[in-house]
Amino acid sequence: MELESTRVFVKVAELGSFSKAADFLRLPKSTVSRTISRLELESGTKLLFRTTRNLALTQAGRVFFNECFESIKVLEKARKSVQWVLTSGKITTEIPIRPKVVCSQMSSLMKMAVLGAGIALVPLYLCQQELNSNNLVRILPDWANLGLSVSFVTPTSAKTSGRLKLIMDSLEAPIRLTLR
């Protein structure tokens, strides 16, 4: 069973539609349909109930989806870690990268770029001073990264605490602006 076939199945099940999965995966709908049929043939079981208007997981499909979902998410996240997703206006593009250095410390990446080690994708707040002093040059000024994900970790749910929701809402915009 191919990993890509499993990924296609998970997307179809997750989005509840061949068309939506095809759009998300940037594949023709016919390719998605053939992939699911091939997967069902390889597994020897029906994974989806399909009609012209409805799509539902069979019992075997539900079990397979539950077993595969987290693994596929982890693999998708890993795949994105070797791509830069950039936007310019309404255009979004993925740029595959082949890093010579892998580092989870953004400030270290920026320092390596200052020393001439290559190109780094770092938030503006980290490199603004180096840009102003001409130690770094912004090579794609019209393009921006989609940004860093930030999570609020709290002992209680924001849904149950009005004060907490108010604080989180007031912090969201300044954090987004800083991390752009």
Q: What is the DSSP string of 37-62?
A: HHHHHHHTS--EEE-SS-EEE-HHHH
Contact status, residue 76 vs residue 82, Cβ threshold 8 Å = no
Over residues 90-107, the mean pLDDT reads 78
Instruction: Assess whether 57 and 113 both reside in one domain.
Output: no
Over residues 109-132, the mean pLDDT reads 88
pLDDT at 21: 93
Instruction: Provide the number of structural domains found in the chain.
Output: 3
Question: Looking at the predicted structure, is the pLDDT value of residue 1 above 60?
Answer: no
CB-count exposure of residue 29 (10 Å: 0-12, 13-18, 19+)? middle
Q: Which two tokens stand for residue 95?
A: 């740029």
- 3-class DSSP state of 170: helix
Domain containing residue 67: CATH number: 1.10.10.10
Comparing 171 with 45, the larger pLDDT belongs to: 45
The single-letter DSSP state of residue 27 is -
pLDDT at 81: 66
pLDDT at 28: 93
Question: Looking at the predicted structure, is the pLDDT value of residue 153 above 70?
Answer: yes
Which structural domain, as residue segments, surrounds residue 73?
3-80
Instruction: Assess whether 154 and 168 both reside in one domain.
Output: yes
For the chain, give the percent of residues with pLDDT over 90.
37
Confidence of residue 131 (pLDDT cuts 50, 70, 90): very high
pLDDT at 151: 72
For the chain, give the percent of residues with pLDDT over 70.
91
Rounded to whole angstroms, the Cα distance separating 100 from 147 reads: 22
pLDDT at 158: 65
Estimate the crossing angle of helix 29-43 against helix 18-25, to 10 degrees: 110
pTM above 0.75, yes or no: no
Instruction: Assess whether 22 and 63 both reside in one domain.
Output: yes
Instruction: Assess whether 131 and 155 both reside in one domain.
Output: no
